[in-house]
Amino acid sequence: MSSFTPAFPHQHTKRPLSQAAQGWQSKWHPLLSPNGQNLIKSQFGVGDWLIVGCCLQAFIVLVSPCRLIWSLTPTFGLAIWKMFRTLLVIAGWVENPHMKDVVHGKTTTIFPNPDGSFTRETGQSIVGKGVVVVMLSSKCNHPLGMMYPPYKEILAHGRAMFQDLEKNADEYGLLGYSNYNGTDTTTKSVSMSVLYFTNMESLQRYAHVSKQHREGWEWWNQNGDRADEVSIGHEVYDVPEGKWETIYGNAKPYGFAATTHAIKTHGVERKYVCPIVDNKRMTAPQRMGTVKY
């Protein structure tokens, strides 16, 4: 028998939001959330942002009754503060926000047992189960980007579908999902969501049962030909048990590591756990294999 040590042993009584859903949380407006700000930034290039900054500075100089030096003070003050804070983080006097939830060392992910333990008997596969991976993508090629009406419709339907998935994650077998952006263009890049499901039956149930998914599907079937400057796509991979593995080094949970798995404590109470465990110096073939002894 082999036993693995979980990186996050805490068991949640309520299912945590998926990583991407957490990124949309904001006290004021979704566009002010991390995901919202990244969406806005992806619509413009570096040159565009420099032009916006120059125009704002010129406007301040033109309307300000103060001397030129005082009109420039906010710009230089902000730049100096940014550099000073960076130096404080480098020196260790201010906490580095990017290190929050980072798991140091090498880790991997495996499915927990129904009782929440991370043990494997001789002959059992290390990962425990197969997994279904879904990649949903969209891109707007219109100059208006996210403000192009058909693309706004796509974003609205997508938001409704993801909200429905989060609300009924256990019913649809959703384990979690993360968002990523393409790097082949400097603006209006491909936006991709990578979702993980327990099996194909759960994914098919969501596709055909979810009202929100059906509405988005029907909208595209009726309007997709006219929205030729909007791209969408999906890829589905049904990965059998023992045919996948993961490894992370000094990483904050993302991808499959950011998924959440339902368990039963004492066979009754439903709780949720993270799949990250210690790597135990295993190689890729070992992680995709079975317990030998």
* Structure tokens given for 41: 């930034």
pLDDT > 70: percent of the chain: 99
Which residues make Cβ contacts (< 8 Å) with residue 265, sequence separation at least 6?
Answer: 11, 115, 116, 271
Range(s) of the chain covered by CATH 3.30.70.100: 2-41+102-287
Task: Encode pLDDT of 241-282 as tens digits.
Answer: 989 999 999 999 999 999 999 888 766 678 899 999 998 778
Residue 178 pairs in a beta bridge with 194
pLDDT band (50, 70, 90) for residue 286? confident
Dihedral Cα 266, 269, 273, 279, nearest 10 deg: 10
Q: Quick check: pTM over 0.75?
A: yes
Task: Encode pLDDT of 41-82 as tens digits.
Answer: 888 888 888 999 899 989 988 888 888 888 888 889 999 999
Scanning the chain, the segments in alpha helix (DSSP H) are: 19-22, 34-41, 46-63, 68-91, 149-167, 169-172, 200-209, 211-223, 284-287
**Residue with the two structure tokens 């490894």:** 247
**Residue with the two structure tokens 């030129």:** 68
- Domain 2-41+102-287 fold is Alpha-Beta Plaits (3.30.70)
Q: Please compute the mean of the pLDDT values over residues 119-124 and round it to a whole number.
A: 86
> Which of 18-22, 87-91, 164-168, 172-176 comes out lowest in average pLDDT?
18-22
Are 197 and 256 a contacting pair, CB within 8 Å? no
Instruction: Kindly report the average pLDDT of the chain as a whole number.
Output: 89
